[in-house]
Amino acid sequence: MINGKKVALIFGIGGQDGSYLAEFLLSKGYVVRGVVRRASFPNTKRIDHLDIYDDKYGKTPASPFYLLYGDLADSTSIRNILEEILPDEVYNLGAQSHVGISFQNPESTMNFNALGPLRILEAIKDLKLKCKYYQASSSEMFGISPPPQNEDTTMLPISPYGIAKLAGYHLTRMYRKAYGIFACNGILFNHESPRRGLNFVTKKITRSIADILVGNREKIVLGNLDAKRDWGFSKEYVQAMWHILQHDKPDDFVVATKETHTVREFLEEAFNIFGLNWKDFVEISDNYKRPAEVPALLGDASKALKTLNWEPKTKFKDLVRLMLAADLKEKMQEKGIAPMGEDKSDEYYLDLGKELAQKLAGQKKEKKVEGLLESLEGLKKEFSAGVIEGIVNQLKNG
Ligand code: NAP
Ligand code: G4F
């Protein structure tokens, strides 16, 4: 505690969830410290707006928010940070979080996602800290177990990411049982937002649509469209993380919307808003297919609702719209199509998008007609009357 305020330490604060969690905890009056790893180019875009306090207080206990350098692969940095900050709550959101890339980088994925939590938990134990610990576990751990999935479902992961996360999950439970640490797992199903990393499928789709509408690109290249995911809103899911640590005993909880959709349905929903057919814009490439795939995720979060009174409000259709509006805003402002800095509603950007889509459909139609006319001209030249007569004769003569 600092001046009667709880201290939260967030690993992975620069990520999608870390940034929303930091905002949420600051709004609750917490003192927040975040761990970022060194990068050759700043990796703090999602939290730069929070660093307003840094100039005023510097890195002193009085500062409500500041960042420290650390790495989940570096035990020394983890121990030093824990010893310096003496947090009340530790949120471990740090990870190599891309399932597809975990097949290409399996060792570092295991190192960060499995040994990372081990290093933090071991330091908490050795330093005899009285803090609570939150582990960002994942629905990817269910792997090929059929839906719906809840806390009792067998975990059969089929990616290096899922297997590493399952190790982190069990370590969290083991440190709870063996050493009495208040250590909890949030088993979160897919959750997205305008801050989602660019190479996750939802963000890739909504950003590409915005790019298509403003004229930056023509196509989206994707992999498997059949997989089903239970997609929620990150800003709401980080509140569930906090509720999990406020519960009177340490436990594990599924966090999900109980609604599932294929990637194809996400495409349909997004393109339909603009009256466009997704099939005109999507190409499939094996480059984006994985060696093994989790076929269907559908979370049953009844326990979180019953025990924590947590429930998601943003459902699939709202999520698609809010992500599209955010990407349209950014791209339209870049192109000077929408005014900079003005606080317009999501509907404003979606309506502008619809106007652009109509123009695009008109241009596509014109191009198609031009193409057909050109082909007819070609046919006219090639098939002179004599040639056509020859073909008719051949047909007549069998
Ligand atoms: P994210 O945007 O990829 O954020 C992950 C964060 O971890 C980034 O800030 C990243 O830093 C940091 N990180 C990566 N390797 C690190 C290392 N070696 N040392 C220190 N920090 C490191 O992921 P997210 O969507 O916010 O997800 C948060 C957590 O929840 C992750 O653990 C993820 O696996 C898990 N999870 C996510 C979902 C979901 O659908 N979003 C669902 C279930 C579980 P850089 O910016 O430097 O890369
Ligand atoms: O958006 P994705 O990469 O998310 P995925 O693999 O479900 O993982 C996310 O959710 C997990 C929770 O279940 C988290 F633990 C994890 O950190 C991450 O946040 O892919 C979703 C689906 C997959 O089936 C994938 O094969 O979309 C399919 N997909 C099709 N084309 C694609 C693409 N995925 C990506 N990333 N890029 C594509 O072009």
Reference 271, options 330, 318, 210, 215; nearest CA is: 210
Rounded percentage of the chain residues whose pLDDT exceeds 90:
84
User: In ligand 1, which atom is closest to the CA atom of 234?
Assistant: 41
The whole-number average pLDDT for the span 311-336 is 97
Is the pLDDT at 384 greater than 70? The verdict is no
pLDDT at residue 398, rounded to an integer = 59
Q: Is the bond into 291 cis (omega within 30 degrees of 0)?
A: no
The whole-number average pLDDT for the span 90-112 is 98
Ligand 1 contacts CB of residue 18 (under 6 A)? yes
pLDDT at residue 170, rounded to an integer = 98
The whole-number average pLDDT for the span 308-318 is 97
The whole-number average pLDDT for the span 198-226 is 97
Is the pLDDT at 378 greater than 80? The verdict is no
Per-residue pLDDT tens digits for 232-272: 999 999 999 999 999 999 999 999 999 999 999 999 999 99
Probe target for ligand 2 pocket from 92, 138, 204, 229, with the most ligand atoms within 8 Å of CB? 229
Q: Kindly give the pairing relationship between strand 261-262 and strand 228-229.
A: antiparallel
Say how far apart CA 300 and CA 147 lie, in whole Å.
9
State the distance from the centre of ligand 1 to the C-alpha of 16, rounded, in angstroms: 7
pLDDT at residue 71, rounded to an integer = 98
| Residue 253, token pair as written in the block | 């909880």
Reference 327, options 233, 206, 242; nearest CA is: 206
Say how far apart CA 324 and CA 356 lie, in whole Å.
14
Residue 63: which pLDDT band, with cuts at 50, 70 and 90?
Answer: confident
Poorest-pLDDT segment among 11-15, 291-295, 339-343, 365-369:
365-369
CATH 3.90.25.10 positions along the chain are: 197-229+261-295+315-380
- Give the mean pLDDT of the chain: 94
The whole-number average pLDDT for the span 308-326 is 97
- In the chain, DSSP assigns E strands to 7-11, 31-36, 65-69, 89-92, 132-138, 182-188, 191-192, 220-222, 228-229, 232-233, 252-255, 261-262, 282-284
Poorest-pLDDT segment among 184-198, 211-225, 382-396:
382-396
State the distance from the centre of ligand 1 to the C-alpha of 143, rounded, in angstroms: 19
* Spatial contact of 212 and 281, defined as CB atoms under 8 Å apart: yes
| Residue 155, token pair as written in the block | 């975990």
Concatenated DSSP letters of 192-258: E-TTS-TTSHHHHHHHHHHHHHHTS-S-EEES-S--EE--EEHHHHHHHHHHHHHSSS--EEEE--S
Reference 352, options 370, 331, 366, 371; nearest CA is: 331
CA distances from 241 to 153, 158, 188, 331 (A): 20, 25, 9, 32
One CATH from 3.90.340.10, 3.40.50.720, 3.40.50.150, 3.40.50.300 for 1-190+231-259+297-311: 3.40.50.720
Say how far apart CA 22 and CA 44 lie, in whole Å.
12
Q: Active-site residue 151, yes or no?
A: no
Say which residue, 18 or 54, is predicted with more confidence.
18
Per-residue pLDDT tens digits for 158-192: 999 999 999 999 999 999 999 999 999 999 999 99
Handedness of CA 247, 248, 250, 252 (dihedral sign): negative
Q: Which of 133, 161, 237, 349 is catalytic?
A: 161
Say which residue, 268 or 392, is predicted with more confidence.
268
Residue 373: which pLDDT band, with cuts at 50, 70 and 90?
Answer: confident
User: Please, what is the end-to-end C-alpha distance for the chain in angstroms?
Assistant: 95
State the distance from the centre of ligand 2 to the C-alpha of 73, rounded, in angstroms: 24
Is the pLDDT at 56 greater than 60? The verdict is no
For domain 197-229+261-295+315-380, the CATH architecture is: Alpha-Beta Complex (3.90)
Ligand 2 contacts CB of residue 222 (under 6 A)? yes
Ligand 2 contacts CB of residue 103 (under 6 A)? no
State the distance from the centre of ligand 1 to the C-alpha of 44, rounded, in angstroms: 13
Q: Which of 137, 138, 193, 208 is catalytic?
A: 138
Is the pLDDT at 370 greater than 90? The verdict is no
pLDDT at residue 372, rounded to an integer = 74
Is the pLDDT at 375 greater than 80? The verdict is no
Say how far apart CA 325 and CA 137 lie, in whole Å.
29
* Spatial contact of 136 and 155, defined as CB atoms under 8 Å apart: no
State the distance from the centre of ligand 1 to the C-alpha of 376, rounded, in angstroms: 55
Per-residue pLDDT tens digits for 137-160: 999 999 999 999 999 999 999 999
Q: Active-site residue 30, yes or no?
A: no
Say which residue, 388 or 44, is predicted with more confidence.
44
State the distance from the centre of ligand 2 to the C-alpha of 153, rounded, in angstroms: 21
Rounded percentage of the chain residues whose pLDDT exceeds 70:
95
Reference 66, options 41, 44, 88, 39; nearest CA is: 44
The residue nearest atom 20 of ligand 2, judged by CA position, is: 201
pLDDT at residue 285, rounded to an integer = 98
The residue nearest atom 36 of ligand 2, judged by CA position, is: 200
The whole-number average pLDDT for the span 86-95 is 98
Probe target for ligand 2 pocket from 16, 93, 200, 238, with the most ligand atoms within 8 Å of CB? 200
Instruction: Identify which ligand lies nearest to the alpha carbon of 13.
Output: 1
* Spatial contact of 8 and 95, defined as CB atoms under 8 Å apart: no
For the chain, the maximum distance between any two Cα atoms, rounded to a whole number of angstroms, is: 101
Reference 349, options 193, 197, 214, 196; nearest CA is: 214
Ligand 2 contacts CB of residue 204 (under 6 A)? yes
Is the pLDDT at 53 greater than 60? The verdict is no
The whole-number average pLDDT for the span 93-101 is 98
The residue nearest atom 22 of ligand 1, judged by CA position, is: 94
Q: Active-site residue 161, yes or no?
A: yes
pLDDT at residue 232, rounded to an integer = 98
Q: What are the φ and ψ backbone dihedral angles of 186, each rounded to 5 degrees?
A: -100, 115
Structural Rg of the chain based on CA atoms: 26
Q: Which run of H or of E encompasses 337?
A: none
CATH 3.40.50.720 positions along the chain are: 1-190+231-259+297-311
Residue 341: which pLDDT band, with cuts at 50, 70 and 90?
Answer: confident
